[in-house]
Amino acid sequence: MVSKREKVVLAIFIILLLMLITIPLIIASRSGGETNVFGGFLFNPLDSHSYISKMRQGFQGSWTFKLAYTLEPADGAFINIFYLFLGHIARWFSLPLVFTFHLFRLLFSALMFWVLFTFTAKIFSNKTWRWTAFVLASIGSGLGWLGIPFDLVASDLWVAEMFPFLSANTNAHFPIALALQLWILMPRENEHITWSKGIKLSLAIFILTIISPFGIVLILAVKIGLLILRWLRKTDWQIILKEVIIIGLFSGPLLIYYLWISRDHPVLSIWSSQNLTFSPPPWDLIISLSPALIIAFFAVKKFWRTDRKEVQTLLVWMIVCILLVYIPFSLQRRFLQGLFIPISLLAIFGFEAWFEKSPKYKKVSLMLLFFLVVPTNLLLLLTALFGVQRHAPEFYLSRDEQVAMVWINENVSVEAHFLASADIGSYIPSISQVFVYYGHPFETIDAENKLQLLEDFYSGKISDPESWLEQSDIEYIFYGPKEQSIGQLSKMLPIMEIYRSGDVSIFQVIDE
């Protein structure tokens, strides 16, 4: 039973954790000086700008999604509804998009940590072990920090969906997806499905399917694993079967629609085919999840035959997840979502059992564990602050570039076609209501070829640039410091300067 005092302590812990996450952003926003403007993101800025571009489409009133980082014409589709919805919220309340993104990221992160504690409390009745497990799952990571001096970038340095702390730093949909996953898998004393419980479960399943299709597939796989385990042991398997049926009914239609879009949509199918997110090699995963993973495997060996249903859930969750990430599938890494949670809880569950009989080295062992699992996240925060100090281009725009993009948003028609360098192309759709020729390695169709072509254009290597502009359906050209570093525009191009501020110009392509 969790006391009121414990809940107050939990609330304070979550607030402090969110402050730790937010302070680097505040520092970054105040560090631009007179010549630079903070782009709004320190962790995975490339994808973050993509999320804002999706929100911008919702802000404009759309409930269907189009790729803003490519110029191929196509109808919108009912995907990425989560970020479209956040865009609608921003419009309803007249909120800036980046502010709305971070607001919901923090709110959903707070919810994630609260549900994680509730989940942990269902497993650990002892207060000390409950908090130890919760803190490990919340702020822990792997041994990736040890590889940094050797230029080894392990997955715990960048696969955010695997860890609650990194998820809270990265975007808004990872935390809410993890919160829903935890709630659906939550151990309950009374597993019987009442009408009230069934409605809540169905709603959670439906929302999770919208936000994270791979998250619901992972949940379904875990439930099927539990169903098989309980059927083999002849214990309450009928209840799990009902849950599997409910998951199938309330996620199946959406999953079928997503599959159809990914295969038959003229543009999104190509995006899907080039959106390759393979899992890290096993040695990388072991480094990224250890030492908690090593301890958890000992716990699996010790408690595999346990009758405690909550521990069975952790065991099956960890094993099913590890199996799924190595099936031959181009998006296999998506199944890493939340993997550190069952691993860290199993590790502490193992500690609890071992030190109950021999508590001699308990404090030393736990201190060593936390000494090993905290540095990766601290280094990520420090690395981000170092990037802020040197005004890293992935974090900052020049003030002229930012002002030009605001001008585009206010003066150029919606979904106009722009050409810009790769760096600027990643920003433009998040600040302006236009589409770009290239801006994202996955969300730009035929990305590698287009990146080469745009560099050839700016450097004057295309033999017939006028025809190329027409064939590529480009209407405007962004020309600032980053484009100038590639090359000088030919004076013979059929273009007219329509905007200039400082060292940034915008040209309109003239039809001849």
117-143 pLDDT, tens digit each? 999 999 999 999 999 999 999 999 999
User: Same domain, yes or no, for 215 and 108?
Assistant: yes
| 435-436 and 417-419 strand pairing | parallel
Residue 398 CB: number of other CB atoms within 10 A? 20
Q: How many domains does the chain have?
A: 2
The H-assigned helical ranges of 186-290 are 195-211, 213-233, 237-264, 268-274, 282-289
Instruction: Specify if 320 maps to a domain.
Output: yes
Rounded to an integer, the average pLDDT of 411-427 is: 97
3-39 pLDDT, tens digit each? 899 999 999 999 999 999 999 999 999 999 999 999 9
User: Same domain, yes or no, for 130 and 270?
Assistant: yes
User: Same domain, yes or no, for 358 and 484?
Assistant: no
Is residue 154 predicted with pLDDT exceeding 90? yes
Is residue 234 predicted with pLDDT exceeding 90? no
State the burial class of residue 363 (Cβ atoms within 10 Å of its Cβ: 0-12, 13-18, 19+).
exposed
Closest CA to 138 of 154, 122, 120: 120
pLDDT number for residue 440: 97
Instruction: Specify if 276 maps to a domain.
Output: yes
pLDDT number for residue 511: 80
Angle between helices 97-123 and 81-92 (to 10 degrees): 120
User: Same domain, yes or no, for 417 and 375?
Assistant: no
User: Same domain, yes or no, for 301 and 243?
Assistant: yes
Q: Sign of the CA dihedral 459, 464, 466, 467?
A: negative
Instruction: Specify if 379 maps to a domain.
Output: yes
Phi-psi group of 502: left, alpha or beta (phi > 0 → left; psi -120 to 50 → alpha; rest → beta): left
Split at pLDDT 50, 70, 90, the class of 352 is confident
Q: Does residue 44 contact residue 56 with C-beta atoms inside 8 Å?
A: no
- Tokens 């009121």, located at residue: 4
Is residue 454 predicted with pLDDT exceeding 70? yes
**Residue 151 φ then ψ, to 5°:** 60, 30
pLDDT number for residue 512: 66
User: Same domain, yes or no, for 410 and 324?
Assistant: no
Split at pLDDT 50, 70, 90, the class of 113 is very high
User: Same domain, yes or no, for 331 and 479?
Assistant: no
Split at pLDDT 50, 70, 90, the class of 44 is very high
Higher pLDDT, 238 or 257: 257
Is residue 201 predicted with pLDDT exceeding 90? yes
The DSSP symbol for 505 reads E
Closest CA to 493 of 460, 465, 470, 473: 465
Split at pLDDT 50, 70, 90, the class of 420 is very high
User: Same domain, yes or no, for 445 and 317?
Assistant: no
Which residues touch 130 (CB under 8 Å, ≥6 apart)?
Answer: 120, 121, 123, 124
Phi-psi group of 345: left, alpha or beta (phi > 0 → left; psi -120 to 50 → alpha; rest → beta): alpha
Query: What is d(CA 336, CA 407) in angstroms, rounded to the nearest whole number?
Result: 41
User: Same domain, yes or no, for 346 and 401?
Assistant: no
Rounded to an integer, the average pLDDT of 194-212 is: 94
Query: What is d(CA 507, CA 82) in angstroms, rounded to the nearest whole number?
Result: 35
pLDDT number for residue 194: 83
- Residue 283: alpha-carbon gap to chain centroid: 23
Higher pLDDT, 98 or 306: 98
Q: Which of 361, 387, 413 is the last residue of a domain?
A: 387
Q: Does residue 486 contact residue 458 with C-beta atoms inside 8 Å?
A: yes
Is residue 491 predicted with pLDDT exceeding 90? no
Instruction: Specify if 462 maps to a domain.
Output: yes
State the burial class of residue 61 (Cβ atoms within 10 Å of its Cβ: 0-12, 13-18, 19+).
exposed
pLDDT number for residue 298: 83
Instruction: Specify if 140 maps to a domain.
Output: yes
Is residue 175 predicted with pLDDT exceeding 80? yes
**Residue 186 φ then ψ, to 5°:** -55, 125
Full domain range(s) for residue 420: 397-509
Instruction: Specify if 41 maps to a domain.
Output: no
Is residue 376 predicted with pLDDT exceeding 90? yes
Query: What is d(CA 39, CA 28) in angstroms, rounded to the nearest whole number?
Result: 9
The DSSP symbol for 72 reads -
Q: Which of 369, 387, 405 is the last residue of a domain?
A: 387
Higher pLDDT, 217 or 490: 217
Which token pair is 204?
A: 């959670």
Higher pLDDT, 301 or 59: 59
Provide the total of helices (H) and of strands (E) in the chain, helices listed first: 22, 7
Residues, the chain:
512
Split at pLDDT 50, 70, 90, the class of 47 is very high
Q: Which of 362, 387, 412 is the last residue of a domain?
A: 387
User: Same domain, yes or no, for 106 and 145?
Assistant: yes
Instruction: Specify if 83 maps to a domain.
Output: no
| Percent above pLDDT 90 for the chain | 85
**Residue 496 φ then ψ, to 5°:** -130, 130
249-292 pLDDT, tens digit each? 999 999 999 999 999 999 999 999 898 889 999 999 999 999 99
Is residue 191 predicted with pLDDT exceeding 80? no
User: Same domain, yes or no, for 347 and 445?
Assistant: no
Instruction: Specify if 77 maps to a domain.
Output: no
pTM for the complete prediction?
Answer: 0.96
Split at pLDDT 50, 70, 90, the class of 325 is very high
User: Same domain, yes or no, for 407 and 375?
Assistant: no
